[in-house]
Structure 1
Amino acid sequence: MSTEKPSSPYLNLYLGDLKEPWEAYCAARKLKPGAAIRTAIEQQLKAAAKADPKKPASSVQPVQAEQRRRYEITLTDSEKAAIAARLDGKRTMRDWIASAIRGALTNEPQFGAAEQATLAESNYQLQAVGRNLNQIARRLNERKSADFPAKRVADIEKIIKAHTKAAADAMRAAVERWPLV
């Protein structure tokens, strides 16, 4: 039996201390408070529909390596110092800047060496847990055990595999500079 409430076209809104000034505002303009809120929501939705937000680029695995082009930028001394302070000792300033640009263009994380190592270790551990769960599920299925549903273990294994793949894809996107589309 589902515990979700059926969808309602009504919105319950707690205004707290704002209720009295809101009612006074609406009364001065001969508006019903609910109708004024509905009008404000309609205006926001209309404005959001008109605004054409740029869709982030996404990285795709290339058929062939994309040629890199040199591009020069100038930085202030403070910008250069701020970047240098963020370097992890394994990336160059050029790599850091390219990662920052890719991160801004794709809204995908760009990992440094320390983060890559942490994610790799996380995936290794999750894969070991997944193998153990698979062995447990196999044993439970052999015994037809009713006290612990094997389907639950299979569901957990699917979640772990999905996490492992997502983390691996994120790591790959940070390492391999694939073309943006």
Structure 2
Amino acid sequence: MTIRPNRINIDLGAYKQRWLDYCAAHQITPSAAFRQVVAKLMEESAPLGTGAAPATAGTKVRREIGLSAEEADFVRARAHSIGMSEQRWIISLLRGAMRGEPQLSMAEMAQLGKSNLALLTIARHLQLIGRALQASQPPPDPALHNVLETLHGQLTRHIDSVAQLLTSNAARWSRS
């Protein structure tokens, strides 16, 4: 048996099933999630979980690339700061470039998710205002109701597009 100095063996006791459930819900391996916890505790930026299914399937083709010392240090630092292996980070970056999509970090995805929830609340309130105006006497100016409906539609479309962006980014950062 080889000793691997970077490995940690932890008895989670009663927490094990909850930990596995958490990892499954966030579609992340227990090892990657643990690295994120360690990164967070070490005051580095750690992501939340990742989302959807693997971005690509099928036969893998191995390629070797040569990096300068500076490039290798950069890749190592970036990958480890978000709890990924260097190889996984490079593959995820490549997939994002192939699709021409923004390269959102997990922290940025979490921010966008919170923003989307706030916009959803605003859209609901606009809808409630529109209903209240329609029920009021005397009836409001129809133009006001049209403006509210237009705003609600624009917000809803924006929320949907941001949700799609978050889903595609989560898929990019998922393990495959």
TM-score range (shorter-chain normalised) is 0.5 to 0.7
Correspondent of 1:155 among 147, 150, 155: 150
CA contact (8 A) 1:91 1:112 kept: no
Please say if 1:97 is aligned against 2:90: yes
Q: Which residues in structure 2 correspond to 1:49-128 (within 5 Å)?
A: 66-67=57-58, 69=60, 71-74=62-65, 75-87=67-79, 89-92=81-84, 93-128=86-121
CA contact (8 A) 1:110 1:173 kept: no
Q: Describe the shift of the 1:149–1:130 C-alpha distance in structure 2 as closer, same or farther (beyond 3 A).
A: same
Q: Describe the shift of the 1:170–1:163 C-alpha distance in structure 2 as closer, same or farther (beyond 3 A).
A: same
Q: How many residues are matched? A: 117
Correspondent of 1:168 among 158, 163, 166: 163
What per-residue deviation string (whole Å, max 9, x for no partner) do you get for residues 110-165 of structure 1?
A: 32210110110011100010110110011111122128611111111111111111
**Normalized against structure 2, the TM-score is what?**
0.57
CA-based RMSD: 2.9
CA contact (8 A) 1:88 1:114 kept: no
**Normalized against structure 1, the TM-score is what?**
0.55
Q: Which residues in structure 2 correspond to 1:4-23 (within 5 Å)?
A: none
Q: Which residues in structure 2 correspond to 1:140-151 (within 5 Å)?
A: 140-143=133-136, 144-146=139-141, 149-151=144-146
Separation in structure 2 between the aligned mates of residue 164 and residue 110 of structure 1, nearest angstrom = 19
Letter paired with 1:99? S
Q: Which residues in structure 2 correspond to 1:41-52 (within 5 Å)?
A: none
In structure 2, list runs of 5 or more residues that go unmatched.
Answer: 1-51
Separation in structure 1 between the aligned mates of residue 146 and residue 112 of structure 2, nearest angstrom = 28
Q: Describe the shift of the 1:68–1:120 C-alpha distance in structure 2 as closer, same or farther (beyond 3 A).
A: farther
Letter paired with 1:116? M
Separation in structure 1 between the aligned mates of residue 132 and residue 89 of structure 2, nearest angstrom = 49
